[in-house]
Amino acid sequence: MSNLLPQWEEMSPARRVFDALLLPAAFGLLCGLALGVSGPLYLVGVIIALLGGIAGGAQYASRRDALIRGLVAGTIFGLFILLGFELGGEDEAKVDLPDPHILLLVLTIVPSLFLHWLGWGLRPRLHGDSRPADVP
Protein backbone atom coordinates (compact mmCIF):
# COMPACT_ATOMS: atom_id res chain seq x y z
CA MET A 1 0.00 0.00 0.00
CA SER A 2 1.35 3.41 -0.95
CA ASN A 3 1.20 6.08 1.75
CA LEU A 4 0.78 9.72 0.87
CA LEU A 5 1.93 10.64 4.37
CA PRO A 6 4.48 8.88 6.55
CA GLN A 7 2.69 6.93 9.26
CA TRP A 8 3.68 7.54 12.89
CA GLU A 9 4.36 3.91 13.67
CA GLU A 10 6.73 3.66 10.68
CA MET A 11 8.79 6.77 11.51
CA SER A 12 12.19 6.81 13.14
CA PRO A 13 12.42 8.47 16.57
CA ALA A 14 14.26 11.43 15.03
CA ARG A 15 11.53 11.92 12.44
CA ARG A 16 8.88 11.75 15.18
CA VAL A 17 10.62 14.51 17.15
CA PHE A 18 10.93 16.58 13.99
CA ASP A 19 7.27 16.19 12.96
CA ALA A 20 5.65 16.46 16.40
CA LEU A 21 7.85 19.03 18.14
CA LEU A 22 10.24 20.88 15.86
CA LEU A 23 7.84 21.63 13.00
CA PRO A 24 5.17 23.30 15.15
CA ALA A 25 7.87 25.19 17.09
CA ALA A 26 9.67 26.44 13.98
CA PHE A 27 6.48 27.31 12.14
CA GLY A 28 5.05 29.03 15.21
CA LEU A 29 8.25 31.07 15.53
CA LEU A 30 8.03 32.13 11.88
CA CYS A 31 4.34 33.04 12.25
CA GLY A 32 5.19 35.02 15.39
CA LEU A 33 7.87 36.97 13.56
CA ALA A 34 5.40 37.61 10.73
CA LEU A 35 2.79 38.78 13.25
CA GLY A 36 4.84 41.90 13.94
CA VAL A 37 5.55 42.59 10.28
CA SER A 38 2.49 41.82 8.17
CA GLY A 39 -1.06 40.73 8.95
CA PRO A 40 -1.56 38.97 5.60
CA LEU A 41 1.77 37.15 5.90
CA TYR A 42 0.82 35.96 9.39
CA LEU A 43 -2.59 34.77 8.18
CA VAL A 44 -1.06 32.85 5.25
CA GLY A 45 1.27 31.15 7.74
CA VAL A 46 -1.65 30.21 9.98
CA ILE A 47 -3.57 28.77 7.01
CA ILE A 48 -0.57 26.64 6.07
CA ALA A 49 -0.36 25.49 9.70
CA LEU A 50 -4.03 24.45 9.56
CA LEU A 51 -3.20 22.12 6.68
CA GLY A 52 -0.30 20.77 8.72
CA GLY A 53 -2.73 19.88 11.51
CA ILE A 54 -4.80 17.77 9.13
CA ALA A 55 -1.67 16.05 7.82
CA GLY A 56 -0.43 15.44 11.38
CA GLY A 57 -3.68 13.78 12.39
CA ALA A 58 -3.64 11.57 9.29
CA GLN A 59 -0.41 9.99 10.51
CA TYR A 60 -2.23 8.14 13.30
CA ALA A 61 -4.32 4.96 13.36
CA SER A 62 -5.63 5.87 16.84
CA ARG A 63 -7.99 8.81 17.40
CA ARG A 64 -6.58 9.21 20.91
CA ASP A 65 -3.02 9.52 19.61
CA ALA A 66 -4.10 12.00 16.93
CA LEU A 67 -5.82 14.15 19.58
CA ILE A 68 -2.78 14.02 21.88
CA ARG A 69 -0.65 15.14 18.94
CA GLY A 70 -3.16 17.94 18.30
CA LEU A 71 -2.95 19.10 21.91
CA VAL A 72 0.85 19.09 21.89
CA ALA A 73 1.19 20.68 18.45
CA GLY A 74 -1.39 23.39 19.16
CA THR A 75 0.28 24.27 22.45
CA ILE A 76 3.77 24.41 20.96
CA PHE A 77 2.58 26.36 17.91
CA GLY A 78 0.80 28.96 20.04
CA LEU A 79 3.66 29.39 22.51
CA PHE A 80 6.15 29.84 19.69
CA ILE A 81 3.92 32.39 17.94
CA LEU A 82 4.09 34.45 21.12
CA LEU A 83 7.85 33.87 21.45
CA GLY A 84 8.46 34.83 17.82
CA PHE A 85 6.42 38.00 18.23
CA GLU A 86 8.42 38.97 21.32
CA LEU A 87 11.75 38.14 19.66
CA GLY A 88 10.77 40.20 16.62
CA GLY A 89 10.77 43.28 18.82
CA GLU A 90 7.75 44.93 17.21
CA ASP A 91 5.61 47.06 19.50
CA GLU A 92 2.29 46.13 17.97
CA ALA A 93 0.92 42.98 16.36
CA LYS A 94 -0.48 43.46 12.85
CA VAL A 95 -3.40 41.19 13.80
CA ASP A 96 -5.42 41.65 16.99
CA LEU A 97 -4.30 39.33 19.78
CA PRO A 98 -6.46 38.38 22.75
CA ASP A 99 -5.74 40.13 26.01
CA PRO A 100 -3.85 38.70 27.80
CA HIS A 101 -1.82 37.30 24.90
CA ILE A 102 -1.56 33.84 26.50
CA LEU A 103 -5.22 33.32 25.56
CA LEU A 104 -3.93 32.88 22.01
CA LEU A 105 -3.28 29.29 23.12
CA VAL A 106 -7.03 28.67 23.15
CA LEU A 107 -7.10 29.82 19.52
CA THR A 108 -4.30 27.43 18.58
CA ILE A 109 -5.13 24.37 20.71
CA VAL A 110 -8.86 24.07 19.99
CA PRO A 111 -8.52 24.21 16.19
CA SER A 112 -5.50 21.92 16.38
CA LEU A 113 -7.54 19.28 18.21
CA PHE A 114 -10.29 19.50 15.59
CA LEU A 115 -7.88 19.44 12.64
CA HIS A 116 -5.93 16.46 13.98
CA TRP A 117 -9.23 14.65 14.55
CA LEU A 118 -10.25 15.53 10.98
CA GLY A 119 -6.91 14.24 9.66
CA TRP A 120 -7.36 11.01 11.60
CA GLY A 121 -10.79 10.63 10.03
CA LEU A 122 -9.39 11.18 6.54
CA ARG A 123 -6.61 8.63 7.01
CA PRO A 124 -8.65 5.65 5.71
CA ARG A 125 -9.39 7.48 2.46
CA LEU A 126 -5.69 7.99 1.95
CA HIS A 127 -5.31 4.23 2.31
CA GLY A 128 -8.32 3.34 0.17
CA ASP A 129 -10.50 2.21 3.12
CA SER A 130 -14.08 3.36 3.62
CA ARG A 131 -14.13 4.30 7.33
CA PRO A 132 -11.77 4.97 10.23
CA ALA A 133 -10.67 2.03 12.28
CA ASP A 134 -9.70 3.33 15.71
CA VAL A 135 -6.76 1.17 16.69
CA PRO A 136 -5.91 1.41 20.41
95-110 pLDDT tens trace: 999 999 999 999 999 9
pLDDT value at residue 104: 96
Q: 59: which residues sit within 8 A by CB, 6+ positions away?
A: 5, 6, 7, 8, 11, 19, 66, 69, 119, 123
pLDDT value at residue 84: 97
Give percent above pLDDT 90 in the chain: 82
pLDDT band at 3 (very low <50, low <70, confident <90, very high): low
> At how many degrees (to 10) do helices 63-88 and 23-35 cross?
40
Q: Is the Cβ–Cβ distance between 28 and 50 less than 8 Å?
A: no
The 10s digit of each residue's pLDDT in 65-122 is: 999 999 999 999 999 999 999 999 898 999 999 999 999 999 999 999 999 999 999 9
Tell me if the pTM is above 0.85: yes
End-to-end CA distance of the chain: 21
Give percent above pLDDT 70 in the chain: 90
pLDDT value at residue 118: 97
Q: What is the 3-state secondary structure (H, E, C) of the chain?
A: CCCCCCCHHHCCHHHHHHHHHHHHHHHHHHHHHHHCCCHHHHHHHHHHHHHHHHHHHCCCCCHHHHHHHHHHHHHHHHHHHHHHHHHHCCCCCCCCCCCCHHHHHHHHHHHHHHHHHHHHHHHHHHCCCCCCCCCC
